Amino acid sequence: MSTEQTTEAGSLSYTLNRTLDAPTAAVWQAWTTPGQYTQWAGAAAGSVEMDVRPGGVWKATMVTPDGGRFPLTGSYLEVTENRRLVVGMDVPGRTEPATMTVELDERDGHRTGIVVRQTCDSVEERDMAEQGSTMLLDSLTAFLAGRPTD
C-alpha cells in the first residue's frame, strides 16, 4: 500500500491518494454494500442503507470510539460502477450538500488506486473532513487486508 496526501496551505480542498492491495471490484463492493461498509466504516449494525445509483439515497449512523452516535444522510450524485462515486452529504444549515468524490483505478488486476477529494467551506471543515476521510481509508485498508486473497 502507498499513501499520498495533498492539502495546500489556505486551500479549502484536500486530495488523498492510496494504492490498495485489492482488486477494484472488491474495493467497490466494500464501499457500496451496506454489510461490508458497516464492517469497516464504523457504522452501527443495521443502520446503513444504500441505493447506489444517481439520485439514490444513503444513510448510516456512525459510532465514535467513545460510543457516541451520529446519523449521516445524503445521496449519490454520480455512479460509475468500479470507477467513480460522487457522494452528496447532507449538512445541517447548508442548502447544498457537501460533496466527496471517490475514484478507483485498477492496477494489474490485484491492486487499486483510490483517490478521495473534497472541497469544503472553511479550513476547519476541511481539516475535519480530511481527518475523517483518512480514518475511513485506514479502516478500508485494514478491512481489505483481512479478506481472502483471490
122: left (phi over 0), alpha (psi -120 to 50) or beta: beta
Domain definitions of the chain by residue range: 2-145
pLDDT at 5 over 80: no
CB 128 within 8 A of CB 134: no
- Does the domain at 2-145 match CATH 2.115.10.20? Answer given as no
pLDDT at 149 over 50: no
What kind and span of H or E run contains 25?
Answer: helix 24-32
CB 12 within 8 A of CB 129: no
Predicted local confidence at residue 64, as pLDDT:
84
Predicted local confidence at residue 78, as pLDDT:
98
State the average pLDDT over residues 11-24: 93
Please report which confidence band the pLDDT of residue 31 belongs to, taking 50, 70 and 90 as the band edges.
very high
Which candidate, 114, 85, 136, 146, places its Cα nearest to that of 1? 114
